[in-house]
Amino acid sequence: MEDHRALGAYDVLRRLAAEGFGNQPPVAYRALEFLVEHGLAHRIQRLNAFTACTHAGEAHAPAFLICRTCSTVAEADARPARQALEASAAALGFEIERSTIEAVGLCPACRETAE
């Protein structure tokens, strides 16, 4: 997770096994659930993977910027977008309980190599 790429559960499992924490998939999933529940990691739906939270311990509303070439994930402030979505939902009488904002594009490094 340190290189800002999302990791799948089996990637995490390999790392946990290398550290002596076990090598069964439930071990990785329990560890990931713990990290997400405590705000230390986020699940990236598009990649079916997880990434470390860059604002651990802070109340925040992230949006995830995912590079379609290298799968790097950046965490951006999504408060304005979430406020607009909540206002639109409220106008329809809908109450949002949970949302995830994921945008796909090119990171600066991949944009540079594409030029």
Q: Tell me which residue of 36, 60, 33, 44 sits closest to 4, measured CA to CA.
A: 44
**H helix runs in the chain, sequence order:** 9-18, 25-37, 79-91, 108-114
Domain boundaries defined on the chain: 9-114
CA distance 28 to 43: 13
What is the model's pLDDT at position 2?
A: 41
At 3 the pLDDT is 52
Going by C-alpha positions, the residue among 45, 41, 68, 71 that lies closest to residue 57 is: 41
pTM over 0.85: no
Q: What is the pLDDT of residue 29?
A: 82
pLDDT at 57: 78
Considering the four listed CATH numbers 3.40.190.10, 3.30.1490.190, 3.40.50.720, 3.50.50.60, the one that applies to the domain covering 9-114 is 3.30.1490.190
69 vs 42: CA distance, rounded Å? 20
Across the chain, which has 115 residues, the per-10-residue mean pLDDT values are 66 79 76 87 88 82 92 90 95 92 94 87
